[in-house]
Amino acid sequence: MTELASRIDRQWAVALRYGPYVLLALGSVMAGATYRYFGGSGRLWLALALAEVSAVLHRACVDLRWTGRPFEDRLGVAYVIVRWALAFVMTWLNPFYAVFAVAGYFDSHLFVPLRRVWMVLLSTAVIMAGSQSGGLPPEAGAQWLAFGGLFVLNAGLALLFGRIAGQEANLAQERTTTITRLEEALAENAALQSQLVAQAREAGVHEERERLALEIHDTIAQSLTGIVTQLQAAEESIDDGVAREHRERAASLAREALGEARRSVQGLMPMRLDRTALADALDRLVRDWAFGSGVASEVTVTGVTRALHRDVETTVLRVAQESLANVAKHACATRVGVTLSYTDDELVLDVRDDGIGFDPATVGVPAATGGVGLGGMRQRAARLASEVVVESEPGGGTAVSLRVPSVRHG
């Protein structure tokens, strides 16, 4: 519809620009064919001269409207007045020149303020009525009567159609204003959408950075810590056999760390869960940790084991790994118990130790310890709409409990 309307506007603009030339030529042809009936050749030549003046005036003034050159409203008003006067005189000389005056019905709104267009329409109706009643000036009483009736008819029609055209113009202006406002609203909405997308992207980048930081802390950093611990134990051991076991364990941890690093790049899923059930992976994690730390440990699994969503199993394994790492670093414990409980709705992980304990209100802020610790565990749990509960007191050991929804695999 927009393309069609634009095409019609262009065609109408061409008609308004070049139409008066056609009307002048048509009037001149008809005047030449009938000059014997309207005063002879003298009046014809005068009318033709005025027609040429009208054509030059139209070219000089009207072309400014479409070529983009400066065009003042006063010039438009002057052009319409002079054109009407020329059309009136030419119609006086030969009634057929009234066809040129018809242009006043169609293009006056381009040159005269809208509140004055009715004056142009009435003036044009005078010329049309004079031509239709037999020419200007009316001579007999009957001709005057015909002139009056035709003037009323032409003026009424002109004003009626002018009013309709004005209403259409106002409606078009309202539509243009509405479209402009809609375009502004769309532009504003697009800007808001771009801002929201940028904010979502920033939030996604921030969340991904946190996830990667936790993944690196829970995999490579933990493995490197275990390697350092095993190498220190091997160096301090006076028994070559025990020292060899520690070195082999360090090498095993190094290979495992390399595998975790590669796996993190590929999919950031724990290597222990690639082909192993969660309970088995947790049992292996605890046994390996007990061997490296020298702390007696026990794993208990209750309920019916089943495959859960990988994000759930990954979170459980990472929280268990971080809890055991905290026990090795801070608890000075002699015994650790790990319980994995399957229920219909939840999977519960409990890690308990008999260490020195601490005040939970003062621990868990990463900036305070230089690591991730409890804050990292809570972030992991929050991604699954879960929570980590820590219960401890100085001298009373520590219990870390994680409860996650029991979301099935697939």
Q: Where are the domains of the chain?
A: 2-137, 276-410
- Does the domain at residues 276-410 carry the CATH identifier 2.120.10.30? no
- CA–CA separation, 49 and 94 (whole Å): 13
Instruction: Work out the pLDDT band at 352, boundaries 50, 70, 90.
Output: very high
Per-residue pLDDT band for 336 (boundaries 50, 70, 90) equals very high
- CA–CA separation, 33 and 97 (whole Å): 12
Three-state SS at 352: strand
Q: Please tell me which residue, 269 or 130, carries the higher pLDDT value.
A: 130
User: Is 57 within 8 Å of 79 (Cβ atoms)?
Assistant: yes
For residue 232, the number of C-alpha atoms closer than 13 Å in the C-beta half-sphere is 8
pTM exceeding 0.85:
no
Q: With 60 as the cut, is the pLDDT of residue 93 above it?
A: yes
Ranked by mean pLDDT, the top range of 63-67, 270-274, 334-338, 379-383 is: 334-338
The residue to which tokens 């239709």 are assigned: 132
pLDDT exceeds 50 at position 371:
no
Report the pLDDT averaged over residues 156-181.
80
Judge whether 231 and 251 are in contact, CB under 8 Å: no
Give one DSSP letter per residue of 296-325, joined into a string: EEEEEEES----B-HHHHHHHHHHHHHHHH
Give 279: exposed, middle or buried? Use CB within 10 Å, 0-12, 13-18, 19+: middle
* pLDDT band for position 7 (cuts 50, 70, 90): low
pLDDT at position 368: 36
SS3 call for 392: strand
- Strands of the 398-405 sheet, one edge to the other: 296-302, 335-342, 346-353, 398-405, 387-392
Is the pLDDT assigned to residue 365 strictly greater than 80? no
CA distances from 270 to 125, 262, 284 (A): 93, 10, 13
CA distances from 263 to 15, 268, 269, 410 (A): 75, 6, 7, 21
pLDDT tens digits, residue range 21-56?
899 999 999 999 998 888 888 888 999 999 999 999
Rounded Cα gap, residues 352 and 72, in angstroms? 92
What is residue 206's predicted lDDT score, i.e. its pLDDT?
67
Return the closest-CA partner of residue 381 out of 400, 368, 366.
400
- CB of 351 closer than 8 Å to CB of 323: yes
**Distance between CA 337 and CA 324 in Å, rounded?**
10
pLDDT the model gives residue 367: 37
Q: Where is pLDDT greater, at 96 or 208?
A: 96
What percent of the chain shows pLDDT beyond 90?
A: 15
Confidence of residue 381 (pLDDT cuts 50, 70, 90): confident
- Angle, helices 41-67 vs 2-34, to 10°: value is 160
Are 220 and 186 in contact by the 8 Å Cβ rule? The answer is no
pLDDT per residue over 171-229, tens digit each? 877 888 888 888 888 888 888 877 776 676 676 556 656 666 666 666 666 777 777 78
Structure-block tokens of residue 275: 């082909």
| Helix, strand or coil, per DSSP, at residue 121 | helix
Length of the chain (residues): 410
Return the percentage of the chain with pLDDT > 70, whole number.
81
Residue 123 has pLDDT above 50, yes or no: yes
pLDDT at residue 61, rounded to an integer = 79
Q: What are 262-316's pLDDT values in tens digits?
A: 656 544 555 556 567 888 889 988 988 888 788 899 999 998 888 888 888 888 9
4: confidence class by pLDDT, cuts 50, 70, 90? very low
What is the overall mean pLDDT for the chain?
80
Assess whether pLDDT exceeds 90 at residue 74.
no
Helix, strand, coil share of the chain (percent; to 5): 75, 10, 15
Measured from the Cβ of residue 224, the count of other Cβ atoms closer than 10 Å reads 13
